[in-house]
């Protein structure tokens, strides 16, 4: 790698950091753990820079590194503690943002209940906006596999959120679960619209 | 209008109306669609929130160190790697 190439690589790598952090956070939920994971992935990516093919997606490449890191560590140690609500709640409190809708907590804990392969596929495509092709590269599987995981994850998540909606409306109100769910979603949409009109939505 | 939308590439081979999800009751297509759109928005929101956070200093200082370790001042023999990794 020439000096120039290395400089370009570094610039791209730095630009990928926020995404690495977001991906890590969605995978392991605990912000500190997530940042550790992202830093380890960054270090690995830097060491392996010679094997990166210029012109390909550095985001997909670093995500693949992070993902491998995550699963090997998970297998080794930090496994076994599935995300519990306390942890999600701490995350929420740490952000200390009054505009942060509570439903994000529900979303996170529902996500945590999905099988690993479905969750990561949905996060990559549905949250991170990756193409199916890029996501397939990250997960080192076929594009069709990603597609079906995403679609299963979407349906499962909908079911989990419906359940959560019915639990939280239990007792206080007599709102049927689905109404509560739709209501919550509308509020979330309104908040998102008011919060920051992003360039998206086309 | 069209009650069937077979051209939709996003659902891949999955029969949309078998309510295998634990949500139970089948709902009409617009409702299902609206829900999925809302879920999509929230997922992106969750992700974007982290993306827009300022990157902690550790990340940048790591790369600066990597930079320094790489070029110790002069060109040439970088054979001695000073205390780079564990």
Prediction ipTM score: 0.74
Cα(A88)–Cα(A113) distance, integer angstroms: 13
Q: What is the mean pLDDT of chain A?
A: 79
Specify whether the CB–CB gap between A114 and A157 falls below 8 A: yes
According to DSSP, residue B2 is labeled: -
* Domain A82-195 -> CATH class: mainly alpha
Q: Where are the domains of chain A?
A: 1-81, 82-195
Rounded to an integer, the average pLDDT of A92-113 is 65
Using the Cβ of B26 and the Cβ atoms of chain A, whether some distance falls under 8 Å is answered with no
Using the Cβ of A92 and the Cβ atoms of chain B, whether some distance falls under 8 Å is answered with no
* Domain A1-81 -> CATH class: mainly alpha
CA A56 to each of CA A62, A107, A136: distance values in angstroms, whole numbers, following the listed order:
11, 32, 14
Chain A residues closer than 8 Å to B20 by CB: 155
Residue A153: closest CA among chain B residues belongs to which residue? B21
Joined tokens for residue B11: 């659902």
Q: Mind listing the pLDDT tens digit for each residue in A5-45? A: 888 899 999 999 999 999 999 888 788 999 999 999 999 99
In this model, does residue A134 exceed pLDDT 90?
Answer: yes
Q: Which residues of chain B have pLDDT under 50?
A: 1-24, 73-86
């Amino acid at each position: 790698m020439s000096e120039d190439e290395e400089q370009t690589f570094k610039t791209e790598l730095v630009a990928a950091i926020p995404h690495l952090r977001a991906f890590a956070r969605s995978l392991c939920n605990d912000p500190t753990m997530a940042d550790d994971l992202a830093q380890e992935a960054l270090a690995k990516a830097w060491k392996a820079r010679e094997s990166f093919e210029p012109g390909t997606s550095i985001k997909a490449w670093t995500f693949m590194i992070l993902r491998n890191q995550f699963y090997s560590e998970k297998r080794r140690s930090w496994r076994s503690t599935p995300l519990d609500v306390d942890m999600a709640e701490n995350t929420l409190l740490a952000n200390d943002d009054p505009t942060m809708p509570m439903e994000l907590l529900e979303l996170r804990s529902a996500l945590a209940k999905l099988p690993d392969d479905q969750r990561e596929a949905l996060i990559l495509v549905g949250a991170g906006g990756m193409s199916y092709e890029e996501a397939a590269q990250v997960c080192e599987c076929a594009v069709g596999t990603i597609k079906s995981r995403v679609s299963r994850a979407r349906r499962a998540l909908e079911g989990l959120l419906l359940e959560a909606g019915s639990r939280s409306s239990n007792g206080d109100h007599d709102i049927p679960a689905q109404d509560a769910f739709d209501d919550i979603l509308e509020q979330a949409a309104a908040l998102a619209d008011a919060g920051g009109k992003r360039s998206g939505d086309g | 209008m069209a009650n069937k939308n077979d051209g939709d590439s996003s659902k891949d081979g999955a029969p949309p109306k078998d309510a295998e999800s634990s949500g139970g009751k089948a709902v009409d297509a617009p409702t299902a669609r609206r829900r999925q759109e809302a879920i999509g928005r929230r997922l992106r929101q969750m992700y974007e929130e982290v993306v827009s956070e300022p990157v902690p200093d550790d990340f940048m200082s790591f790369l600066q160190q990597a930079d320094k370790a790489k070029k110790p001042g002069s060109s040439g023999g970088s054979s001695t790697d000073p205390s780079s990794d564990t």
